[in-house]
Chains A and B, each alone.
Chain A
């Protein structure tokens, strides 16, 4: 089933590229096929969730075929963490297709094919249980995203696409070397076996840093986040949604799947590094977000800040923090994706993202204003939305790990509220003075269909988060068991100290 979910969109994409016919018919066929395929995948994703046993912390639906011996094998399987992220991916995909229904007019079949490839690769990344299969999917995602930004992007799209590609490639190749070393040491490419392999502490430090180089860029963490605002601003709306919703989750997923359980000693030792970068990121990017004049750039910087919550949560190295980090990934995927869609709605009408060009939209687009408000508050972390659950859990975890970490991270909540509400006030409130805004239409049925499901999910996750946390409990427990084994034995030191004094 997982293999089918991975291969099906690719085959459909190949079909779209090869489909004959005139430009108009091909475009129409491509739109409906892509929508159909992604909807089927959504159904399959739900079926996956339904058939998933949350009590089992191991990999389920596992399949293994030694197709690519001696280098790696086609080996897939999911645990709870993969499950929720796959669910997020398949949920956002049909929305992305719908969001580009009218705004993309040139080379539609190629566009839809690129998204379907993306779908394949992202599901594959989360489902791979072979180290190099993971790498293939992880890196392969660069190609469609490079093309999406470069072909259908905005004015500075070429610069942005290069920056995106080379930044992430540079991070990943170091990870590749680390993977080669791991396979050399452990003698297997299987992730489940590597998860229980104990590398020497010295090797762990180097491996951790190599993986960190890759995941920190993907995440993105300060100071290697600079590709993100550029990529977001230039990407088409649906590209931004996928970027924020799914691609950014690869970094967090990588930390949780590889760095923490495979290099527990290094994770415990180097926790200060991640904390420091997270704290800088929250303060710095929040302040930067305050002064942005471009809506997408503002949301992109807010993404970096939110991702810092993820890293702070994950590296709090306790249950609340890690679960909070995962929920933050899900919540941010929905909310940030939705915010980009909201920007896309007005961008489709006015073709500008300058905040100054808007104002008083509440007067003519009340329904739009309502949705925008919900997602803004979700981003800020209002209780009742998924953002609150995520921030509360990860800050709780951070507080248990270090008061200072929690203190600095909490300032992100305040500045976050400031820049989001400031954005909202400038775009939505006020009097409608600008003449070209007066003719704007409120949401169309298609836009409802895009925003309403996300809104429902944001509220659902905010009110009853347990449904989403249940599947990740058991795998997080396993990660914690690995980390606890690596932690310096605190009690033993307490015993030793008085003995020394006594002498």
Chain B
């Protein structure tokens, strides 16, 4: 009985979010679409409470006989996810209202997705892993198709669904192989069972699990869906996809690699290293030809995942810490960039998505232009902007573990990547104004954008010490 009470206590954030999602659903059903704004703010409140619950002292340990675990690592990710989800919920407010799709389901589905993400980063068993992943994924399919009257959005949802189910199937097959050969689904048990090298059976299982997770983080060569889904899905949804689910999947990948397959680091290191290099280069090169800014940001997210994977490929505690630090900064940069995109509309309120529409943006919207420039320079990783330091930390981890080829390829990819980020800045500042951009509508979005821009600016370097400290503590809880 005390065990159950203890478990319920440890899983409090997840329980809170699932109950809150039901509550929001009830309110929505009774009050209709009018309640959309209220529900959104309410959901943000719940995210804040859930984030605070995570940080409460005494809320760490294994729950439900080791099915889920609450430790520094999951806490770090849950705080990130809660923050990203709050921003993603808020930034959708003006956008959905304008496109006349302000339905009450949006915050509800978002919250269900976040519940799944929370379970993902806490999972310490292959079954819980799959449970969290599927809960989040199902919600994401719906969100991608949220503009149900638009072909593009429906197409994105369907594409995402088909490919997502396929990857889930592969993942499940991998899980069954691992279970069949090793005899356990618990991460901790797998760690000891697989410590003496992998036989061919569990090796195939490992590869299939990696494939399934690589799909979720959109690492090359399982990235094909990303540009299409980001382009087709409502922009607010794309912003969410690029932040919270990606970060959660990365957390899951890290935990599975270092805990469940921690005894077989050499087996997965080459897979991760290959995905890192391929993602960095394909993300960088693929973005050059893009004319749609959402597609560009999709390639940029592929590119960034590649850099983060360098840290994972190191397999050391410092490497994992660098991945966490990378993800924390990446969320701010990518959400900031999407906030800028959301704010781009012509005078009729139609969203502007082509890069050429940005031409001469500095004249109509100097503040927006400056913020976007900060995010782009930051994503390109130019010091003294904050975006440089995550790259720095993964390269440092790579050099410290003597993975020199990976580090050299990484810096080369970052130079290629700089080119297309510069192209956006060039369009904003160097070209003559083309499209007419409407003035700012939402004060909340403007404030969030300004906050993200300040965070990514050199001032944000003061945040290095606390974030890296938290990331190191989180990484330490895995080893």
Q: Which A residues have a C-beta under 8 Å from some C-beta of B?
A: 17, 67-71, 107, 132, 135-137, 139-140, 142-143, 146-147, 150-151, 157-158, 161-162, 165-166, 169-170, 173-174, 176-177, 180-181, 183-184
Contacts and interface: CB of A to CB of B under 8 A. Distances in A.
Given A67-B462, A169-B418, A177-B411, A157 B430 contact: yes
B41 interface: no
A176 B412 CA distance: 12
Given A69-B464, A139-B383, 15 more contacts: A68-B464, A68-B465, A136-B384, A137-B384, A139-B384, A150-B426, A166-B422, A169-B415, A170-B412, A170-B415, A173-B415, A176-B411, A180-B395, A181-B399, A183-B396
A107 B458 CA distance: 23
B426 A140 contact: no
Given A162-B419, A165-B418, A176 B392 contact: yes
Contact of B383 (A136, A157, A166, A177): A136
A147 B426 CA distance: 9
Contacts of B384: 136-137, 139-140
Interface string B400-434: 10001001100110110011001001100110000
B430 A158 contact: yes
Contacts of B43: none
Given A68-B465, A142-B382, A176 B426 contact: no
B478 interface: no
B382 A71 contact: no
A136 B381 CA distance: 11
A258 B415 CA distance: 23
Contacts of B415: 166, 169-170, 173
B461 interface: yes
Interface in B429-466: 429-430, 458, 461-462, 464-465
A150 B382 contact: no
Contacts of B377: 143
A68 B399 contact: no
A69 B468 CA distance: 9
Contacts of A146: 422, 425
Given A143-B382, A169-B415, A184-B399, A150 B407 contact: no
Contacts of A68: 461-462, 464-465
A150 B429 contact: yes
A67 to B, nearest CB: 7
**Most chain A beta-carbon contacts within 10 A, residue among B384, B408, B419, B425:** B384
B393 interface: yes
Contacts of B426: 150, 158, 161-162
B73 interface: no
Contacts of B370: 17
A180 to B, nearest CB: 4
A177 B392 CA distance: 9
Interface in B371-403: 377, 382-384, 388-389, 392-393, 395-396, 399-400
A135 B422 contact: no
B376 to A, nearest CB: 11
Contacts of A158: 426, 430
A162 B424 CA distance: 12
State the main secondary structure of chain A at its contact with B: helix
A67 B395 CA distance: 21
A150 B430 contact: yes
Interface of B: 362, 370, 377, 382-384, 388-389, 392-393, 395-396, 399-400, 404, 407-408, 411-412, 414-415, 418-419, 422, 425-426, 429-430, 458, 461-462, 464-465, 468
Contacts of A142: 382
A139 B382 contact: yes
B400 A71 contact: no
A140 B382 contact: yes
Given A165-B422, A177-B407, A140 B383 contact: yes
Contacts of A17: 370
B453 to A, nearest CB: 12
A177 B399 contact: yes
B402 to A, nearest CB: 9
A435 B415 CA distance: 49
28 contacts: A69-B464, A71-B392, A71-B393, A71-B396, A71-B468, A135-B383, A136-B383, A146-B425, A150-B430, A151-B429, A157-B430, A161-B430, A162-B422, A165-B422, A166-B419, A169-B382, A169-B418, A170-B412, A170-B415, A173-B415, A177-B395, A177-B404, A177-B407, A177-B411, A180-B399, A180-B407, A181-B399, A184-B400
A166 B380 CA distance: 11
Nearest to B381: A173
A139 B419 CA distance: 16
A165 B382 CA distance: 11
A151 B426 CA distance: 9
A158 B388 CA distance: 24
A65 B388 CA distance: 21
A405 to B, nearest CB: 32
**Most chain A beta-carbon contacts within 10 A, residue among B362, B393, B399:** B399
B431 to A, nearest CB: 8
Contacts of B400: 180, 184
A44 B392 CA distance: 34
A180 B426 CA distance: 31
B395 A176 contact: yes
A143 B429 CA distance: 13
A173 B411 contact: yes
A380 to B, nearest CB: 37
A161 to B, nearest CB: 8
Nearest to A175: B411
A150 B407 CA distance: 31
Contact of B414 (A136, A140, A173, A183): A173
B224 to A, nearest CB: 28
**Most chain B beta-carbon contacts within 10 A, residue among A69, A162, A174, A177:** A177
A183 B400 CA distance: 9
Nearest to A70: B468
B411 A166 contact: no
**Most chain A beta-carbon contacts within 10 A, residue among B415, B419, B425, B462:** B415
Nearest to B399: A180
Contacts of B383: 135-136, 139-140
A137 B393 CA distance: 18
A180 B396 contact: yes
Contacts of B393: 71
Contacts of B404: 177
A170 B413 CA distance: 10
Contacts of A169: 382, 415, 418
Given A142-B382, A166-B419, A71 B399 contact: no
Contacts of B396: 71, 180, 183-184
Contacts of A67: 461-462, 465
Which 6 pairs from chain A and chain B are nearest by CB? A173-B411, A136-B383, A180-B399, A136-B384, A150-B430, A140-B384
Contact of A71 (B362, B389, B408): B389
Contacts of B461: 67-68
Contacts of B407: 177, 180
Contacts of A70: 465, 468
Contacts of A143: 377, 382
Nearest to B429: A151
A237 to B, nearest CB: 19
A308 to B, nearest CB: 26
A147 B458 CA distance: 17
A68 B465 CA distance: 6
A173 B414 CA distance: 9
